[in-house]
Amino acid sequence: MKPVVELKNLSKTIGKKKIIDSVNLALYPGTITGFLGPNGAGKTTTIRMMVGLMKRTEGDVVIEGVSLSDNFEEGLSKVGVIVENPEMYKFMSGYKNLVHFARMHKGVTKERIDEVINQVGMQNRIHEKVGTYSLGMRQRLGLAQALLHRPKFLILDEPTNGLDPAGIREFRQYLRKIAETEGVSVFVSSHMLSEIELMCDRIAVIQNGKLIDIREMSEMKESFYYLEASPVEEAKQMLVENGFTVESFNKGLLINAEHQQIPELVQSFIAKGLQVFAIQPHRKTLEDEFLEMTGGGQIAESYTK
C-alpha cells in the first residue's frame, strides 16, 4: 500500500542541540496512527514541522507525492488539522462558521458543507450559535471544518482534551468512520493511552527526539497469563526451564503462554508440590507496553515538546 504521508529524515536543531533526530515514518490511507512519547519527547515539534509552523533543519515531508520543500502550498492543501480545542466564532452559528472556513479552500460547495455536517452528526444544532455548544459539539464542528476540503491526511493534537467519556467515545466513532469510508490517514497525538488503544491501528513512539518504535496494535495482543504460586522463586525457575518468558507482576508472575498449555502447566506445578493460588488470562495494556518501550516514560530535557 502506498503511503499518504512520508517523513524523511525529519530533524530539528536549536542552538547546538538536535531535538528531533532523523525521524522516518510512513502513514497509510484508512489507518489511524497514534503518536506517543513522554512529556518533552518531541511530539509537538514534529507536528509543527509537518504543517509548516516550524522550519525543518533537515529532511522533508511528502504528502501524496508532493514534497513540502518543493511545493508547500499544494502539499498542505491535502491536510486537515485539529489542535486541542478548535477556535470558532462563537457569535456565529456552526453553519456560518463552516461557510466562512469553506471560502479558504477552492471548490468547497454547499453540498460538501452539508455532507460534512451529516458526517459528524450535527444536523440538529448546526444553525445555533457556537457559543451555545458544549465542548463535544465544538470538537465535532472542528472536525467538520477540517474535513471540508476532503483532506487525505488529518492531524489531531490532543483532540479529546476536556471531553467527558461520552464525548470521547462519540468523537472516536466519528474518526473511525471517516478513516474507513474516506480513506483518510489520521495521525493522533495524545497522552490518553487508554483512548489511543481503542482508537488506533498502530502507534509510533518518540523519545528524546528519536522514533524508537513503530508497532501495529494487533502485535500487542499476545497471549499472557497471570500466575500466583508459592514458592514464587521455584515457580519462576520451573517456568524458565520450560522455555516460558517470565516477569514479575503485582504479587505474582506474568508468563507468555498459550491457552492450551495451561492445564499441563498447572498439573506440573502440583506434581512438584507448588501451590497455585490463581492463574488467569492477562493482556498487556498500551500503558504497560509504553512504559516498557520508554523505560518508565521519563521526561526529556528542556524545551523539546
Helix axes 135-147, 110-119, angle to 10 degrees: 140
Give the CATH number for residue 153: 3.40.50.300
Q: From residue 227, give the alpha-carbon distance in Å to each of 232, 256, 258, 277, 296.
A: 9, 11, 13, 8, 23
**C-beta of residue 254 within 8 angstroms of C-beta of residue 201:** no
Instruction: State residue 24's pLDDT score.
Output: 95
Q: Are residues 101 and 231 in the same domain?
A: no
90 in a structural domain: yes
Residues 245 and 201 in one domain: no
User: Are 162 and 133 contained in the same domain?
Assistant: yes
User: Does 104 fall in a domain?
Assistant: yes
Q: Is residue 87 part of a domain?
A: yes
Residue 303's pLDDT is: 33
The answer on 212 and 239 residing in a single domain is: no
Of 171, 195, 216, the position where a domain reaches its end is 216
- Please indicate, yes or no, if residue 234 is contained in any of the structural domains: yes
Is the domain of 134 the same as that of 183? yes
Q: Does residue 297 lie in a domain region?
A: no
Residue 295 inside a domain? The answer is no
Judgement on whether residues 159 and 249 belong to the same structural domain of the protein: no
Verify that 197 and 228 share a domain, yes or no. Answer: no
Based on the fold, state whether residues 9 and 108 are members of the same structural domain: yes
The CATH number assigned to the domain holding 230 equals 3.30.70.980
Per-residue pLDDT tens digits for 154-182 = 998 887 777 778 878 888 888 888 888 88
Same domain, 144 and 96: yes
Question: In angstroms, rounded to a whole number, what is the distance separating the alpha carbons of residues 92 and 69?
Answer: 37
Q: Which of 165, 198, 216 is the last residue of a domain?
A: 216
Say which residue the cell 498487556 belongs to. Answer: 284
User: What pLDDT digit, counting tens, does each position of 198-257 carry?
Assistant: 888 999 999 889 998 888 887 665 568 888 999 999 999 989 988 888 888 888 888 888
Q: Check residue 220 and give its pLDDT.
A: 64
Residue at which a domain ends, from 216, 237, 252: 216
256/259 Cα distance (integer angstroms)? 10
Same domain, 46 and 194: yes
State residue 111's pLDDT score: 93
pTM of the model: 0.75
Asked, for residue 300, whether it belongs to a domain, the answer is: no
**Domain that includes residue 133, residue range:** 5-216
Q: Are residues 198 and 232 in the same domain?
A: no
Q: Which ranges of the chain have pLDDT less than 70?
A: 84-85, 219-223, 284-285, 288, 292, 296-305
Structural domains of the chain, count: 2
Considering the domain boundaries, does residue 91 fall inside one?
yes
135 with 256, same domain? no
